[in-house]
Amino acid sequence: MSHPFAPSGAEVDPRQFQRFAAFYPFYLSEHSNRNCRRLHFVGSSLGLLCLAWAVISGQPGWIGLGLLLGYVFAWIGHFGFEKNKPASFKRPLYSFLGDWTMYADIWRGRVSL
């Protein structure tokens, strides 16, 4: 997908970003489809619920399920609606931080569902 700051038709390599603050606008541009953002939000919420249940129940296997659900919902959003590859394939840490920053920004009303 083209980035709004890239020359017309140019692909942006997420590995080029040296700081998360520079990466995050790119991350949001890769989540322009509302259904993709909604699926990310649902997956992240389920991930948090699984984490909470792992702590409450003392069963750490729920953490793995939470991670799995989070990524499955996100990837459905990307491949099914956004029609792009998740940046997590090339920039996993920044993408993980982007997921949670976008999640918080949705709760704050800065990013729409």
The tens digit of pLDDT for each residue in 5-42 reads: 443 345 789 999 999 999 999 999 999 999 999 999 99
For residues 66 and 48, the answer to whether their CB atoms sit within 8 Å is yes
Q: Structure tokens of 25? A: 């606008």
How high is the pLDDT of residue 10? 57
